[in-house]
Amino acid sequence: MTSVPSALLSPAEIRELAGRSGVRPTKQLGQNFVHDAGTVRKIVRAAGLVPGEQVLEIGPGLGSLTLGLLEAGHPVTAVEIDPVLAALLPGTVRERIPHAPLVVVESDALTVTNLPDPQPTALVANLPYNVAVPVLLTMLERVPSLERVTVMVQAEVADRIAAGPGSKTYGVPSAKAAWYAEARRSLNISRSVFWPVPNVDSALVTLTRRTPPATAATREDVFAVVDAAFGQRRKTLRAALAPLCGSPALAESALRAAGVDPGLRGERLDITQFAAVAEAVHAVRDGRAGQDGHAGQEEDAGQVGLAGTDADAITREKGGSS
């Protein structure tokens, strides 16, 4: 693949572009723009993309990473919440890589319900730090075509996403991410490659999609158990799951039915065990409902894919190619 060094934005060009368009980075939207071409190329390489595969980028900002992806020959669908940045991006790209295959969707990634075809198979992004975990989990849930994810997040968050059971950093983001994918923390990224410079260091996390654990429980049931277990992290699972089950005794029955020691804390369980517990909790609650004469827990509709759903959330869609 031929590299075109001049396609990427230099620190001076980032400042010039922002100044010319009246962009003033806000903390609220986590706007820290990468201005180092070497870092952009490292991220693109770390993403391990298949030649020509459709990439989803959340938060393209001024286009630093977008240009890196396009330069490497990958068509990009970019979802940007900031209307000024969303309007600016197609022109920036057209000037530097004419006819590049870019589609910009102006939307909040947390509420977007449809993406234009072709559906992306990889997510590569420098995520806005304040919503990095919800954005990551939302994309894994709503874009089933995603097979690979490489995201830059706050280093501490990268540790949490990639942590395994028993580690201090293992928690809700680790367990929920593990439902969808195998996560691995990779490169550290210095704060000096951003403008403005953030207060924290960053790191890349790569995730590879896998089949969720086999269970009769829904994803929502499993996530409710994960939330309950870590909501009272210092308590035993017997105590932490008591509100969900109705009593500590019912929680104990569910845990024993799932083959889990009720005296353990949630931090010891992997996602497969959480799924087994959720299934048992459901059964225990159904049993209790039968005794009380109440209806059991409502069945959930399960996952909702983006493709083929309402296009309401898409308010801007511009092709970068002409």
Return d(Cα 295, Cα 277) in angstroms, integer: 21
Q: Which is nearer to ligand SAM, 97 or 269 (CB)?
A: 97
Among 8, 18, 49, 58, binds ligand SAM (CB under 6 A): 58
**Cis bond before residue 25 (omega within 30° of 0):** no
Under rule CB under 6 A, residue 90 binds ligand SAM? no
Instruction: Please state at what angle helix 172-180 crosses helix 155-162, rounded to 10 degrees.
Output: 60
CB of 116 to ligand SAM, least distance (A): 16
Among 67, 72, 75, 80, binds ligand SAM (CB under 6 A): 80
Among 7, 18, 36, 60, binds ligand SAM (CB under 6 A): 60
CB of 85 to ligand SAM, least distance (A): 5
Q: Are 47 and 74 a contacting pair, CB within 8 Å?
A: no
Among 34, 70, 245, 277, binds ligand SAM (CB under 6 A): 34
Q: Does residue 59 come out as left (phi exceeding 0), alpha (psi in the -120 to 50 range) or beta? A: left
Under rule CB under 6 A, residue 13 binds ligand SAM? no
Q: Which H helix or E strand runs over 11?
A: helix 11-21
Q: Which residue has the tokens 């991410």?
A: 177
Under rule CB under 6 A, residue 213 binds ligand SAM? no
Q: Does residue 204 come out as left (phi exceeding 0), alpha (psi in the -120 to 50 range) or beta? A: beta
Of 60-68, 209-217, 288-296, 307-315, the window that binds ligand SAM (rule: CB under 6 A) is: 60-68
- Residue burial 276-313, b: 16+ Cβ < 10 Å; e: rest: bbbbbbbbbbeebeeeeeeeeeeeeeeeeebeeeeeeb
Q: Which is nearer to ligand SAM, 40 or 250 (CB)?
A: 40
**Size of the residue set binding ligand SAM (CB under 6 A):** 23
Under rule CB under 6 A, residue 82 binds ligand SAM? yes
Q: Which residue has the tokens 């399960």?
A: 302
Return d(Cα 83, Cα 136) in angstroms, integer: 21
Q: Which of 55, 62, 57, 59 is nearest to 80 (CA)?
A: 59
Under rule CB under 6 A, residue 59 binds ligand SAM? yes
Among 110, 187, 239, 314, binds ligand SAM (CB under 6 A): 110
Among 8, 23, 61, 159, binds ligand SAM (CB under 6 A): 61
Please give the residue ranges that form the binding site for ligand SAM (CB under 6 A).
29-34, 58-61, 64-65, 79-82, 85, 108-110, 126, 128, 131
